[in-house]
Amino acid sequence: MRRRVSILPAGAAQARRDEEYEEDRRRKRKTKALSKSLIIDALKDFATQEKFKLVNPFEKVTDPFREQKQKQIRAFGDYSFWKYYEKIDVSRIYDGKSAEYQNLKLMFWETVFFILWLSIFTALVITSTSQLQYGCRAAQLSYWSDCRLSLPERQDCAVDNIKDISSFWSWLTNDFTDLAWPFEYAVHLPPDAFGRSSTYQLNELSKPFSMRVLDDRGIFFLLGAIRVRQLRVRPNAGCKVSNGFRHAFPQCYALWRSSTESKRYFAKRWTPTYTLPAYRYRTPKYTKQSRTRGQYSTYGAGGFLFDLPPNKTDGVILLQDLREWAYLDEQTRAVIIELNVVNPHVNIIVNTRLLFELAPTGEIVAK
């Protein structure tokens, strides 16, 4: 059985396919329901066409007055007028609406305000500071320096004789202990001194309340304990030994800086147990101290510290044990002695800090 196949030209076949496609579209269009969403989509497509966009003739037009005002607002109070005042255009100063004039006016009133504030602050400091405070501070400084008149016009101080670590330990264990424990001033308090009754009766065996006096005349009393704090540096931090001497001197110790500070526990193996806390680093949060400015550096508030006990015998033994176990060595850069005293006669508390700087050169500077 033979099948007959009709062969059409290429153009006729394409025309036939187009007719079938158009007929199929008309048939689908009739079956598709007209809805609100279809209308909105058609309108959106129509509006997005480039030829139907509305052109705003004022889109590229700017207001020069508005731009100038915005520039002046941004430049008002700019620190550059203080930093580069010599480069200000003088010709624009005479214009009252210019940025130069407005900033110079602001700078003038800032200067007036600063001078007024400085005058008020200076007057407040002068009026609040009396000669009594300076006198108390000078009395404590003279007491701890242990200054005596060797000649009618010459004054020798014990701290001036400190030249190295050995002489410092000698001063600390001898002269300093005599100053820190001169004598005790017995204050006999009545039973109701604190406004509270006690179940214990005072008799001839009761020990009176004693306060430590830190003054030759008995008018300054110690508050709390005397604290000794040292700051140390790490080996080979901030310095470098020359190659020619490294075989003999492998380590060097620079000045104290926050970057060279040592916080390492440095107690030896057989160090007495009760002295071990003195070899442990304490943070500024623990010490609650402030920075101390010296000749070689400004030292931080942390460090290795110990508090002297109330008893003189215990204090001397503690200092001797620390000296024997090399509490101060070549890594030590500063020793700070801190204490507080009160003068009840004038109600003044004096904070005393004795700073001893151990320089890399080997000298000790007292301040």
H and E: helices and strands count for the chain = 10, 12
- 213 & 266 share domain: yes
The predicted pLDDT at position 44 comes to 65
User: Does residue 174 share a domain with residue 302?
Assistant: yes
In this structure, are 361 and 296 located in the same domain? yes
Is residue 311 in a domain? yes
Residues 278 and 179 in one domain: yes
pLDDT less than 50: residues of the chain: 1, 5, 56-66, 150-151, 186, 188, 191, 193-194
Do both 171 and 312 map to the same domain?
A: yes
Q: Residue 105: enclosing H or E segment and its boundaries? A: helix 99-128
SS3 213: strand
Q: Are residues 297 and 249 in the same domain?
A: yes
Short-list 297, 298, 347, 304, CA closest to 325: 304
Two structure tokens written together for 173: 């264990």
Q: Are residues 176 and 88 in the same domain?
A: no
Residue 308 lies in a domain: yes
Is there a single domain that holds both residue 180 and residue 98? no
| 164 and 273 belong to one structural domain | yes
Q: Classify residue 330: in a domain, yes or no.
A: yes
Q: Cα-flanking dihedrals φ and ψ of residue 88, to 5°?
A: -70, 135
> What's the pLDDT at 54?
52
Backbone angles phi, psi at 80, to 5 degrees: -65, -25
Give how many domains the chain has, as a whole number: 2
> Is residue 119, in this structure, part of any structural domain at all?
yes
Domain membership flag for residue 248: yes
Residue 218 in domain: yes
Same structural domain, 356 and 281: yes
Question: How many CB atoms within 10 Å of residue 181?
Answer: 20
What is the Cα–Cα distance from 357 to 340, expressed in whole angstroms? 21
pLDDT of residue 159: 79
Quick one: residue 276, left, alpha or beta (phi over 0 = left, psi -120 to 50 = alpha)?
alpha
Is 262 among the domain residues?
yes
pLDDT at 340: 92
Beta bridge partners of 366: 356
List the beta strands (DSSP E) in 167-260. Answer: 183-187, 209-213, 221-232
47 domain-assigned: no
Which of 109, 127, 145 represents a domain boundary (last residue)?
127
Element (H, E) at 151: strand 147-151
Residues 308 and 262 in one domain: yes
Q: What is the dihedral of CA 101, 103, 104, 108, to 10 degrees?
A: 140
Q: Is residue 93 located within the same domain as residue 175? A: no
Domain coverage including residue 352: 158-186+208-366
Q: How far apart are CA 279 and CA 67, in angstroms?
A: 67
Boundary of a domain, candidates 127, 146, 167: 127
